[in-house]
Amino acid sequence: MMMLVDCSGCRTPLQLPPGAKTIRCAVCHAVTRVAPPPAPPPYLQPGTSQYYPPPRPSSYNHPSPPPVHGRKRAVIIGICYRNSRNELKGCINDAKCMRFLLVNRFKFPTESILMLTEEETDPYRIPTKHNIRMAMYWLVQGVQAGDSLVFHFSGHGSQQRNYTGDEVDGYDETLCPLDFEAQGMIVDDEINATIVRPLPTGAKLHAIIDACHSGTMLDLPYLCRMERTGRYAWEDHRPRSGAWKGTSGGEVISFSGCDDDQTAADTDSLSKVTSTGAMTFSLIQAIERGQGTTYGSILNAMKSSIRNSDSDLGGGLVTSLLTMLVTGGSIGTRQEPQLSANEPFDVYTKPFSL
């Protein structure tokens, strides 16, 4: 079992491997020396199918956030699964483009952006399951009113059967870390428990998930169904079990690459220059073209951009093969970007801001 300890430099929670007495922080690079205490409970609570973060040391709730945390902070993940049967081409490009957008368009401090890609030289910034989990903890640590958070993931997504009855379609959505074949996937219940539920009043989180089966990847209570004409309605996805999937008063809005039963394309047909995720490219394109005034205008622009290039996207052969490999299911339909939120709102009057 792993345990959490606070970094001696920036107070970021670090997950200590069994038996280790030192650990280096991926954020400030300080080395923390500790004596491992007893292991905490596992992520999956005994006798349930609910994921919860393990209990944290009392010092985790430090009265002030670490110095690297500004009013804006982001976790950006791009995984190409290089030299494997699941290889993608454009996900690291997506991550770099997203970082450029956040820094130059939305004034995110570079030191408050945590990048996880296969190109990172720091072993704690490689997008393994362990490192992605720790990055999610880092994102919400010390969050308070006025903070703006971004979680971006570009890579493989999948599904697995849900047996608790809290999914409308009977499946949990999952993110695939670099080492998912050995360590397993990250389930939407855990993502919700880690970065959605703790969000306090006055704080906001935007998630941008460019992956297959990503429509409800954050398990948010409401999904926006939008027709080609632009008409929309909010679909209620609150679990029949009564489990709470919202926040602690904060606001969470998610853009995702496709519906839960669809695959997302990794293509060069949109940029015409290099491979990118169709969803990430269309989102950035909408913002750069001045179509990012409201959430409705962004979603319409994304859908139009992908629809107009649909004949070139091809559904994504690698992503489709992965879907069949992991779920045993069939290949999904064309991708339609989705919008979900913890509370419904008027998508054409609410201004978009990060």
Which active-site residues does the annotation give? 156, 212
Structure tokens at 201: 């009043």
Q: Give yes or no for a contact between 277 and 78, defined as CB atoms under 8 angstroms apart.
A: no
Q: Positive or negative, the Cα torsion across 145, 103, 118, 329?
A: positive
Alpha carbons 190 and 130: distance in angstroms, whole number: 13
Residue in the structure block whose two tokens are 């990794």: 266
CA-based angle 113:117:119, to the nearest 5?
Answer: 115
Q: Which of 218, 214, 139, 208 is nearest to 352 (CA)?
A: 208
Q: Which residues contact 45 (CB under 8 A, 6 or more apart)?
A: 51, 52
How far apart (Å, rounded) are the C-alpha atoms in residues 277 and 280? 5
Phi, psi (degrees; rounded to nearest 5) at 85: -70, -15
| Bridge pairing between strands 13-16 and 3-6 | antiparallel
DSSP annotation of 351: B
Token digits of residue 86: 């699941």
Q: Name the helix (H) or strand (E) containing 279.
A: helix 278-288
Question: Tokens 């209570």 sit at which residue?
Answer: 221
Number of H helices, E strands in the chain: 8, 17
Rounded distance, CA 133 to CA 117, Å? 14
Pick the closest to residue 40 from 61, 57, 65, 60 (CA basis).
Answer: 57
Give the DSSP H/E element, type plus range, for residue 175: strand 171-175
Residues 66/12, Cβ–Cβ less than 8 Å: yes
